Amino acid sequence: MPLLVEMGWGGLVQAPDTITWTDITPYVDVTQKVVITRGASDEFSEAQPGTATLRLDNERRLFSPGHSGSPYYPFVRRNAPIRISVAVIPQQIGAGPTWPLAQLGDDFDDGRVNTTLWPTNTGGATETSAGRLRIPMTPGVDTSFASARVWTLASSQVTAKLARTPTASGSSSATASMWVTSTTAGTRIGWHFNAITRVLSAMTQVGGADATPTSFQHDVREHVWLRIREAGGTVYWETSGDGYSWTTARTLATPAWVASQVHAVEFPTSRTGGTASEIEWDLVGAVVRPRFWGMVNDWPVRWSGLESTVSITATDIFKRLNRMPPLRSMLSEEILQAAPLVYYPLAEPSTSTSAGDLSGTAAGALAITQAGSGGTLEFAAGTGPPAAGEPCPMFTPASTSAGKYLTADLGQVFQDTSSSRINFIECWFSTSTTGRVILAVASADQYNQMVFALSATGTLQIEYTEDAPGATTVVPIATGNLANGQLHHIAYDEYAFSIYVDGVTYSTGSAPSMGRGMRNLSVGGYKGTRLWSGSIAHLAFYANAYYPMAATLLDHRTAGTTGFEGETADARIARLARYAGLDSVTISGTTHDPVASQGPAGTGALARMREVEVTESAKLFARRDWYGLAYQSRDVRYNPDPLGEAFTIAYADLDTSGVEVTDDDQKLVNTVDASRPGGATQRVAAPESVATFGPYERSLDLLKTSDNSVLDAAYWLVSRYANLEPELREVPVDAATLPTYLDILDADISSYFSVTAMPSQAPAPELRVTVEGYTETLSDVEHHIQFRTSRSATDSVWVLGDPTYGVLDSTTRLAY
């Protein structure tokens, strides 16, 4: 049961694809045990941030923050990425004389080569103190490290970790391989690494050659693990960065010898000239199961006399999500997701005298500019897009040329980028006055200008000058009167020669396009004339290299008008995750109801995802194998199928000191008051339960889009918890000692399993439970898992005619 602890020195948790992992397992003090906690205490609780605690040997000062002598300097720092796995080494079982290759396993951790398992060792291969197989590569010497010929690849596999690759070291030829060999010399299947070119090849050789190998540059992140697998008449060459998630590099119809012969596994090397180096392999045959993925909180160095250790605690992705600032409105978040070149929300408070850019491209602030005398420009006096819930400035001029408007120098970045790419512009406005300018952008010499304005009849028009000062072209847009006091959204699309007004597309012909050198922005007027009377909000510019944005711009209108009211819960979770910088959300289940808007600013991304979770009776938690989230709809737990159980375990095989069946009122709910934004407050009660136990009340404020949906959610809660049955809430398992160890490791939140052969005092001889969370303790000889569980039958739903889930007055709870 080798533990595998790896650090992503210098990597960023939010960019997992760029992390190069370093194995620090030899420095983990397994006598002090590694403890990992994930999930929730029960089904009513939210999954808490997962944690991992472990102690490291710091005798060589490898893990002392700020120590320049450490090979990991300067990356021994807070928030360093960490991942923890268990590599299960297979056992050779059965009488033989042949065994499937999947049973070939060696962790190389006992300090000596197993000569029974590996009878051929012509190169002086040794096991290192770090627990690896080291094969020397000496100039002019071909080496072989091979197993006995007692294995079969058919319907099986062989896996190894390429822990250290050899270097060229001045040689003209240096290669190392991993082969599954036939009884015919030169006929073999495997992986071949060229240390000179750094090319990794998936090969099937006959006569020692493969005319058409699949070759690619070795990647230290993606090609750490190598596997050869045969299944269903096909051989697969596969690579992995973590030993868990595999990528197929090549496939081949299974050669006849694979099914008819007995094989050996060989790790040969060859070097011509140069100086000696070595290759290191590890964990042959290991089956990897991730246990934790997160970041180290700190590196506290401690001493006991002169013995130095570092006891670290790491936390999963929830740590980062919890410390993120509150989100802006959904409209602002959508705009920022689109990487604007300039973005002025114009949502400053009433005391402001200027408006700031949020793009981060060093565009100047929009400052109030006076034209003539009189007029006002009041921040926060107007109302912006309704779903955003944010104010905007109100422009009130004394006349067309007397009043205040906003101007800014957009900066060199804007000037250079907008001149070389396709441009897009959008904003919101409201007015009852025709013939005024919404916004204008111009070059410093005014050779190039573009003005968006309303005509004398209130229709939209675009005015532009292109490399010809004084020669202005007007492009009328047949929008109808927009000076009607209503809020409007416009989006200009230089890519499609179009402009979108309140979601309707209008062509602008082949022109206009923004000219070169654009830098000066005016909002609510231009050159002191045609001053705007009304409100303007959420002004954004984008510049892309031939990349269409029509769908994105139209989505922004939806964000501002409805806040995506009515989108399904799974889509909302994915959207909120993107706001938090997460591209990886694993969605499970199929029941995803429409949810209400979460448009206004205020709460954080995780808090908003929790609102969706509660609304949908769903589950949200951090993944243990990646920087990502898992979201499960409520139907994931409907009617557990016995064939889908993670595992079964007899009561006698449990760590029996912690087994307890509970029958209390901790989860009792028989009266629910439920409401939704803008909807009714409704009550659902179970009268028999209230009469028997008294009222156990709960309030729900749900993001539902209809009163019926609220009622369904309330009924679902009461139907499950108004009359509880006894349940097993803690299941302790000494996992590593059991033949179902891998199945137990696969159990995660919402997995279910059965405890069989319960003592006679139990409510039933077999109890099926659902995993809500767990705490696991790992050492060099132990893997104890304390599962926190709930009664699986709580989530059963009615199935017409089913002998188990269709019993009248017993299992006829309607699905929600």
> Is position 815 within any domain?
no
Tens of pLDDT, residue by residue over 199-227, are 999 999 999 999 999 999 999 999 999 99
- The residue assigned the tokens 């990991």 is 72
- Does residue 712 sit in helix, strand or coil? helix
Q: 808 falls in which pLDDT band (50, 70, 90)? A: low
Residue of 572, 446, 594 lying closest to 520 (CA atoms): 446
Which structure tokens are listed for 705?
């889009």
Q: Could you give the C-alpha distances from 798 to 294, 575, 717, 814, 815, in angstroms and in order?
A: 40, 33, 15, 5, 7
Query: How confident is residue 696, by pLDDT bands cut at 50, 70 and 90?
Result: very high
- How far apart CA 407 and CA 525 sit, in angstroms, is 9
Residue 435 sits in the same domain as residue 579? no
- The domain in which residue 616 lies consists of 569-637
Query: Domain for residue 578, yes or no?
Result: yes
Q: Which residues contact 131 (CB under 8 A, 6 or more apart)?
A: 2, 25, 26, 107, 108, 109, 282
The verdict on 215 and 128 lying in the same domain is yes
Confidence of residue 347 (pLDDT cuts 50, 70, 90): very high
Residues 6+ apart with CB under 8 A from 195: 137, 165, 166, 167, 168, 171, 174, 175, 176, 277
- Band the pLDDT of 809: cuts 50, 70, 90: low
Last residue of a domain, one of 268, 285, 302: 285
Q: Single out the residue of 536, 553, 443 nearest to residue 498, CA to CA.
A: 553
Q: How far apart are CA 302 and CA 118, in angstroms?
A: 42
pLDDT at 706: 97
The residue-averaged pLDDT of 775-791 equals 94
Q: Flag whether pLDDT at 571 surpasses 90.
A: yes
pLDDT of residue 583: 85
Which pair of tokens denotes residue 1? 């049961």
| Cα 238 from Cα 189, distance rounded (Å) | 12
Whether 641 shows a pLDDT value over 90: the answer reads no
CA atoms of 409 and 394, how far apart (whole Å): 22
Q: For residue 195, what are the CA distances in angstroms to 124, 171, 179, 217?
A: 20, 9, 17, 11
- Is residue 816 assigned to a domain? no
Q: Are residues 348 and 279 in the same domain?
A: no
Residue 803: which pLDDT band, with cuts at 50, 70 and 90? Answer: confident
Give dist(CA 644, CA 755) in Å, integer.
Answer: 15
What local confidence, expressed as pLDDT, does residue 514 receive? 84
- Do 183 and 217 belong to one domain? yes
The answer to whether the CB of 517 falls within 8 A of the CB of 450 is: no
pLDDT value, residue 468: 75
Phi, then psi, of 230 in degrees rounded to 5: -120, 130
The C-alpha atoms of residue 546 and residue 511 are separated, in whole angstroms, by 16
Find out whether the peptide bond into 726 is cis, omega within 30 degrees of 0.
no
Strands 366-371 and 354-355: antiparallel
| Identity of the residue numbered 362 | A
- Tokens 């190894």 belong to which residue? 160
- Interval 76-116: pLDDT, tens: 999 999 999 999 999 999 988 999 999 999 999 999 999 99
Average pLDDT (693-699) is 97
Per the prediction, the chain carries an average pLDDT of 95
Using the predicted structure, report yes or no on whether residue 722 has a pLDDT greater than 90. yes
In contact, 79 and 312? CB cutoff 8 Å: no
Domain count, the chain: 5
Q: What percent of the chain has pLDDT over 90?
A: 91
Residue 512: inside a domain: yes
Q: What is the mean pLDDT of residues 705-711?
A: 97
Per-residue tokens: 309 = 């250790």
325 lies in some domain: no
**Residue 747 predicted with pLDDT over 70:** yes
Q: Give the model's confidence band at 144: pLDDT under 50 very low, under 70 low, under 90 confident, else very high.
A: very high
The enclosing domain of 443 has a CATH number of 2.60.120.200
Q: How confident is the model at residue 28 (pLDDT cuts 50, 70, 90)?
A: very high
The answer to whether the beta carbons of residues 524 and 437 sit under 8 Å apart is: yes
- 299 and 243 housed in the same domain: no
Q: Are residues 281 and 294 in the same domain?
A: no
Q: What is the pLDDT of residue 658?
A: 78
464 to each of 428, 469, 489, how far by Cα in Å?
21, 10, 21
Are 371 and 404 within one domain?
yes
Is residue 647 in a domain?
Answer: no
Q: Which of 548, 580, 607 is the last residue of a domain?
A: 548
Q: Is residue 327 part of a domain?
A: no
The end-to-end CA distance of the chain, in Å, is: 42
Do both 485 and 373 map to the same domain?
Answer: yes
pLDDT tens per residue, range 548-566? 899 999 999 999 999 999 9
Q: Report pTM.
A: 0.94
pLDDT at 511: 66
Shared-domain flag, residues 541 and 408: yes
For the four alpha carbons of 382, 388, 389 and 390, in that order, the dihedral sign comes to: negative
Query: Which CATH number characterizes residue 311's domain?
Result: 2.40.30
d(C-alpha 566, C-alpha 76), whole Å: 46
Q: Do 143 and 84 reside in the same domain of the chain?
A: no
> Is residue 804 over pLDDT 90?
no
pLDDT band at residue 293 under the 50/70/90 scheme: very high
Looking at the fold, whether 380 and 484 belong to one and the same domain comes out as yes
What are the b/e assignments for 65-90, b being 16+ CB within 10 Å?
Answer: bebeebebbebbeebbbbbbbbbbbb
Residue in 283, 318, 201, 204 with CA at minimum distance from that of residue 249 = 201
Q: Does residue 793 form part of some domain?
A: no
82, 8 in Cβ contact below 8 A? Answer: yes
**Same domain flag for 178 and 257:** yes
Kindly report the three-state secondary structure assignment for every residue of 778-809. ECCCCEEEEEEEEEHHHHCCCCCCCCCCCCCC
CB atoms within 10 A of CB 205: 19
Condensed to tens digits (0 to 9), the pLDDT of residues 610-631 reads 999 999 999 999 999 999 999 9
